[in-house]
Structures are given as C-alpha cells and as structure tokens.
C-alpha cells in the first residue's frame, strides 16, 4: 500500500512540475503582437466575433461551392460514358445541367448576383 501511495505521489509531482514549467515557458510577450497577428485573413481576432459580413459574399461563396461540386460530379460521369447507354447518359447529363442552369437563372432573377443596387 505504501508503494502505491509513493507511486501516485510521484506521478502527481511530475505532472504538477510539467504543468508549471509549461506555463512558465509559454508566456507570450506583448511585444510580439504583430508577429502573432493573423496575416492571411485580415480580420483582427481581438474584435467582436459578431461583426456583420456581406451576405452577397456569402451567396457567391455558396454558388462557387455548388459549381465546384458540379464539376466533381461531372468528371466521373464523363469517364463512365463508354460503359453506359448513350441515350441514358445524355439524358442524365442534360437534366443535370438544366437543373443547375435553372437554379442559376433563379438566383440571377432574384438579384442575388447584383453587387451594387
């Protein structure tokens, strides 16, 4: 029992020593604010996280994702052309493109793609 208690105390002491050493070593100086600032996104991380953003930018990003996924779906379909029936393959591709163009037309008609009003 005494050996178990000694092992537990030793483990606790090692863990506490490591935590104290890590907290002492990892102190960030205030001089390095420019060095620690994010340089890629351009947003200040110290400001409020609830600042408004442009809804047009968000909608354009969603459109980009939709058309990016479209290309990821279309490439394997093109590769399967030689193994499938030509009429079925053509109907699938044309219906897929028509659905995407109708969605794009709907968003264009609603003014989603207008930046300045």
Average confidence (pLDDT) per 10 residues, the chain, 117 residues: 92 94 74 60 60 75 83 79 80 87 86 71
3-state helix, strand, coil in the chain (%, to 5): 70, 0, 30
d(CA 66, CA 15): 50
In 3D space, the residue among 41, 42, 57, 96 whose CA is nearest the CA of residue 73 turns out to be 96
pLDDT at 30: 57
Q: Which helix (H) or strand (E) holds 110?
A: none
Confidence (pLDDT) at 17? 94
pLDDT of the residue at 5: 92
């Amino acid at each position: 029992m005494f050996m178990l208690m000694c092992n537990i105390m030793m483990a606790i002491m090692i863990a506490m020593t490591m935590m104290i050493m890590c907290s002492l070593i990892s102190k960030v100086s205030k001089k390095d604010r420019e060095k620690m600032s994010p340089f890629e996104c351009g947003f200040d991380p110290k400001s409020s996280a609830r600042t408004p953003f442009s809804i047009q930018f968000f909608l354009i990003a969603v459109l980009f994702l939709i058309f990016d996924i479209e290309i990821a779906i279309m490439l394997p379909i093109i590769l399967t052309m030689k193994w499938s029936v030509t009429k079925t393959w053509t109907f699938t591709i044309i219906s897929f493109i028509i659905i995407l163009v109708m969605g794009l037309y709907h968003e264009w008609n609603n003014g989603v793609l207008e930046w300045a009003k």
